[in-house]
Amino acid sequence: MIWITGSSSGIAWSSATSLAPFAKRLIISLRKKDKLEELSKQLSSKVELKILAFDMQNESEIADVLREYETELSEVDIMIHNAGISMRSLAQNTEMEVYRTMMQVNYFSIVQISQFLLPYFMKNQGHFVVINSMADKFGVPYRSGYLASKMALNGYFGA
């Protein structure tokens, strides 16, 4: 079973549509509930599909989903972490709340899900795929919070 977060568009949507014919079961997660019907129509004929709608910004909502679907999620073989947000502002003009949001969505939520899956992955040889950014290798103007969150991911998954 494959689980992909951030599946409403971009890389994750492409991954979901490309992997669906090859996966026995697919779980996709997104926060944009208005995309649910469209996703279901496009994927449900190709794969056994489960859609989990939750906000990666909300730690307790993630915990509720992990608890509610624990039996099903314990069978995940491949976790594709793709959910994330970006930001564009000079560091001196960026409010602390923006940094907190960046770290929650781009780092803490991913660690929260990974910590949940880790015991199952160790037992069943599961795999994490982390969609990150090459920009975290270089300082890029206007992206201080985004880059910090992506560097944190490298630290966690590189350890």
Q: What sign does the dihedral 72-77-81-83 (CA atoms) show?
A: negative
104-156: pLDDT as tens digits: 999 999 999 999 999 999 999 999 999 988 777 777 888 889 999 999 999 99
**By percentage, how much of the chain surpasses pLDDT 90?**
58
| Residue 56: Cβ within 10 Å count | 24
Name the more confident of 22 and 37: 22
Residue 63 has pLDDT above 70, yes or no: yes
pLDDT at position 128 is 97
| CATH pick for 2-158 out of 3.40.50.620, 3.10.450.50, 3.40.640.10, 3.40.50.720 | 3.40.50.720
Residue 158 in tokens: 């590189």
- Parse the chain into domains and list their residue ranges: 2-158
The model's pLDDT over 101-116, given as tens digits with 9 standing for 90+, comes to: 999 999 999 999 999 9
Residue type, 110: I
Question: What's the mean pLDDT when you consider all of the chain?
Answer: 89
* pLDDT (0 to 100) of residue 80: 95
